[in-house]
Structure 1
């Protein structure tokens, strides 16, 4: 479904004194449809890119950042500002993610493409509580480089996607309580796995996305890959990011494609996405006259609605706006005034309405929506 098929509605009151970011990246004239949101706290963390952001669920959360120099750093966020607590680890290769447990705010997982996932007790932080590695490796066998990971909502199962290892790619599973490798799948994808995501409420439901263009759905209660494989959705593109969300009572999936930066919205009962927004569509929706610099910065579920972060990477990347999608209705949402970077990572807490963004200028920004 293209942009002409969608219902687009104005939203909110805002400062009418908006100006174009650049004559080479002009805005439309009707930016008053966006609600102005200013940054409540920000801090220049590093000269490195902030590639991953995760945070606890408090009003004054603890935040962990994965940086482009292979390190993970811990910060606290309070009324007085952002304070560094310490650094957890420097990996041998890039950080592929950092995620807090959904059941225990003191449990944090960090991972690297060097083939390791660490579980940390945030009350100690001097050394990891558990290390998850591929224990099937033998002398001379090829390491499986990790690309992504996720934790089940009951905090008992770790799933990891891999890069190509020979001609195979793997989804591996560990028992979190024991640290034991349980096994893996290797027949359902043919190229690098870029995302694995557990359903937020169903511990047995997992989706995976890949450079091969497929989104696969599994039932992990089944004894083998053939039985676990439930469905495959063909995006006709390389999958970059996936996210579960609810459309009423239905389970749906957002898919951000890699090369084209399209947004696809999937109902698991359908063979095709029920919405497909191209870069050109997104440019029109955030009131930009050119599509050349448009990028997708993140998708977040917000009580049955989707918040989609869209930016322009022209020059310093100051332009960051959001869209609100509910069923067939797309509304202009927020204009993030004072953003100073191309955003590479974000974390949203729908209970406290706090959005954290990190990006290429090494700035951690907190937006209270």
Structure 2
């Protein structure tokens, strides 16, 4: 392991985060796709371009085990079923959704789309929490996950690949779908599900949709990132557009005096109010958290957090482990885990300390730091 080095970085009004540790996943040029947490934060699962999922301790970074079985690209992973917190689900371009017992790292169930379709996204929900929805090509498929029986197939609402499906938080009978065709659809999943009776609204974004998510205290607001790096904000209940930032990448770059934003990784909702952060990255591996102003004068502010010195390539996933607020926090701890095309996992701290007292320390961190400590693992 190389020795840690210290460097001074100056960026007005931005908070810097120390790199506690980086883990090389030992797959050469393979990618880290996604990082998701177990409910109790005892593990984080990491999907890789090797068609495998690895699990690590979020506190120490220690490798815990590996789930292998997919024959094509893994497109999403999630600890989704609250009644079985040890179950990890994954969907793949091999047309399957698999469940893994993370205590044994063995596959315990497999749902097949039945027509060799790529499955890009999945979500658990429904009024009785018994539905598993998946986006596969231009279709939305539904199963009763308790018995694996397919209960519906929607094939008239979208004309191209369905990249995202999400049951709405606090409205578990509502499903949002988003597609390469530029449309977002809201469905009512109560009773028998069909295109004619259960499509409640359609939002036309106008370009291919990459990621969507809900935010706000009642989860009534919806953010949408497209494949051309634009950002739009919507009220999904009445299909009202609240902001349409077509030049989001240029706006973020103009507010970041030290670098140029090449792509967006995700959006982050800190869990209270209507605040939203847009996470942008550079091809060299630096990340910035940009506050989004979607009320009044639409704007993207200067980055309120900067993560630099950990990655050497495009970052694919960010797992926030804190509430990112505007001022100093009372506790110190891990701010985030990140993973990217350099095959590396990076753990970020709010200061140079490597001692974490408890999992509760993850929730809020301090921001008053002027040095970035780099520790690179072989």
Identify the TM-score tier after normalising by the shorter chain. 0.7 to 0.9
1:319 & 1:289 partners in 2: Cα distance? 9
C-alpha contact 2:233 2:294 (8 A) present in aligned 1: no
**1:112 corresponds to which residue?**
92
**What is the CA deviation profile of residues 61-101 of structure 1, one whole-angstrom value per residue up to 9, with x for unaligned ones?**
301111112111122233xx312222211421100111012
**1:339 corresponds to which residue?**
310
1:43 correspondence with 2:23: yes
1:296 correspondence with 2:264: yes
- Give 1:365's match in structure 2, choosing from 322, 338, 346: 346
Superposed displacement of residue 339, structure 1: 2.7
**What is the CA deviation profile of residues 81-137 of structure 1, one whole-angstrom value per residue up to 9, with x for unaligned ones?**
3122222114211001110125143121011111111112222223x2221113xx4
Q: TM-score, length-normalised on structure 1? A: 0.80
**What is the CA deviation profile of residues 318-339 of structure 1, one whole-angstrom value per residue up to 9, with x for unaligned ones?**
3211113365375431011323
1:254 & 1:201 partners in 2: Cα distance? 17
What are the equivalent positions in structure 2 for 1:173-322 lying under 5 Å apart? 173-223=142-192, 224-246=194-216, 248-249=217-218, 251-258=220-227, 260-268=228-236, 269-278=238-247, 279-287=249-257, 290=260, 294-303=262-271, 304=273, 305-313=275-283, 317-322=284-289
Equivalent residue of 2:58, what SS?
Answer: strand
Superposed displacement of residue 257, structure 1: 0.6
C-alpha contact 1:239 1:255 (8 A) present in aligned 2: yes
Superposed displacement of residue 159, structure 1: 1.0
1:57 & 1:263 partners in 2: Cα distance? 29
C-alpha contact 2:22 2:310 (8 A) present in aligned 1: no
C-alpha contact 2:265 2:315 (8 A) present in aligned 1: yes
Unaligned runs of 5+ in 1: 1-14, 20-30, 164-168
1:148 correspondence with 2:148: no
Ranges of 4+ aligned residues in structure 1 off by more than 6 Å: none
Aligned residues: 322
Unaligned runs of 5+ in 2: 1-5, 324-332, 350-364, 366-378
Equivalent residue of 1:66, what SS?
Answer: strand
323 and 203 in structure 1: CA distance in 2 versus 1, 3 angstrom threshold: same
**1:162 corresponds to which residue?**
136
1:108 & 1:40 partners in 2: Cα distance? 27
1:327 & 1:280 partners in 2: Cα distance? 16
2:73 & 2:315 partners in 1: Cα distance? 18
1:359 & 1:132 partners in 2: Cα distance? 28
**1:93 corresponds to which residue?**
72
**What is the CA deviation profile of residues 294-334 of structure 1, one whole-angstrom value per residue up to 9, with x for unaligned ones?**
21011122123222211111xxx132111133653754310
Superposed displacement of residue 250, structure 1: 5.7
Equivalent residue of 1:226, what SS?
Answer: helix
233 and 68 in structure 1: CA distance in 2 versus 1, 3 angstrom threshold: same
1:283 & 1:172 partners in 2: Cα distance? 39
What are the equivalent positions in structure 2 for 1:4-15 lying under 5 Å apart? none
194 and 288 in structure 1: CA distance in 2 versus 1, 3 angstrom threshold: farther
Query: RMSD of the TM alignment (CA)?
Result: 2.5
102 and 38 in structure 1: CA distance in 2 versus 1, 3 angstrom threshold: farther
- With a CA cutoff of 8 Å and minimum separation of 6, indicate the structure with the bigger relative contact order: 2
Superposed displacement of residue 171, structure 1: 0.4
